[in-house]
Amino acid sequence: MERLALVLSFFFFLFLSKFSFFLSPPFKIDINECSNSTWNNCDSNATCANTPGSFYCTCKSGFFGTGTSCTDYNECLNQGTGNNCNIYATCTNTPGSFYCTCNSGFNGTGVTCTEYNECIGQNGGNNCANGTSTCTNTPGSFTCACNSGFSGNGVTCTDYNECLGQGSDNNCANGTSTCTNTVGSFTCACNSGFNGTGVTCTGNIIISRLCLWDVLFEDNLSLLSCRCG
Ligand SMILES: [Ca+2]
Ligand SMILES: [Ca+2]
Ligand SMILES: [Ca+2]
């Protein structure tokens, strides 16, 4: 009988030692390992959860791993859940998260980015030459081009002298009119003795016998300026 009591006592002790965490004091008090970082081995980027007799670790949002070791997701490389940055934004990775910044030429939160029109002076506007060039809006930027009659890079534009005979820069009547350069353009005026727009000039010539003699025998070209009369 004493032997049976001894065996029962042994098994009762074994039961208490194995399953006492289910019981309330005074049998055994559960230690909350999560209440002190030195009592658990969770990563600094993990959340500790206490359980009866133990604990477990779960990596925080933005991290992956076992819980005792957690690594940041680089959302900008589309790890984990990726990122929601706009196609016109730049993604920057941070520990546990990321952020989006709209690229130059765009306004917004980074998740939404709206192109703005520098040509109507928004956000500092543009640096096109004022009054002598034309601004053209482009996605994320703008371009400047000198207006007709001006030369340059669009940021600085200077008047073009069409009267210097550069190619077909002016359409003044050749030989019978005079070209005058103006800022951004030019004018043509018929020479003295000719009538017209300057682009076309008609000579008001009265050919006398003397003049005809001059034209025929001295200088054919003088017909244009012959105003004998
Ligand atoms: Ca991250
Ligand atoms: Ca733009
Ligand atoms: Ca000009």
Which residues, by Cβ under 5 Å, contact ligand 1, an ion?
72, 93
Give Cβ neighbours of residue 146 (< 8 Å, ≥ 6 apart). 129, 132, 133, 152, 153, 154, 157
Residues 195/202, Cβ–Cβ less than 8 Å: yes
Check residues 108 and 24 and name the one with the higher pLDDT: 108
- Ligand 1 centroid – CA 26 distance (Å): 46
Kindly identify the ligand whose nearest atom is closest to the C-alpha of 158: 3
Q: Find the mean pLDDT for residues 202-220.
A: 56
Tracing tokens 């009119």 back to the chain, one arrives at 177
Residues 106/114, Cβ–Cβ less than 8 Å: yes
- Here the tokens at position 227 are 């105003």
Report pLDDT for 204: 65
- Ligand 3 centroid – CA 146 distance (Å): 13
Kindly identify the ligand whose nearest atom is closest to the C-alpha of 93: 1
Tens of pLDDT along 140-184? 899 999 999 999 999 999 999 999 864 468 999 988 999 999 999
Report pLDDT for 64: 96
pLDDT higher than threshold 80 for residue 207: no
Kindly identify the ligand whose nearest atom is closest to the C-alpha of 184: 3
- Ligand 1 centroid – CA 98 distance (Å): 5
* Whole-number Å distance between alpha carbons of 8 and 15: 11
pLDDT higher than threshold 90 for residue 78: no
User: What are the phi and psi torsion angles at 115 (to 5°)?
Assistant: -65, 140
Closest CA to 50 of 70, 36, 65: 36
pLDDT higher than threshold 90 for residue 132: yes
Helix residue ranges per DSSP H, 30-166: none
How does residue 137 score in pLDDT terms, banded at 50, 70 and 90? very high
* Whole-number Å distance between alpha carbons of 117 and 126: 9
Kindly identify the ligand whose nearest atom is closest to the C-alpha of 64: 1
- Mind giving me the DSSP string for 16-48? HHHHGGGSPTTS-----GGGSGGG----TTEEE
Q: Where are the domains of the chain?
A: 24-72
Tens of pLDDT along 1-36? 555 554 454 344 334 444 544 555 555 789 999 999
Which CATH number applies to 24-72? 2.10.25.10
Closest CA to 198 of 179, 222, 182: 179
- Ligand 1 centroid – CA 83 distance (Å): 10
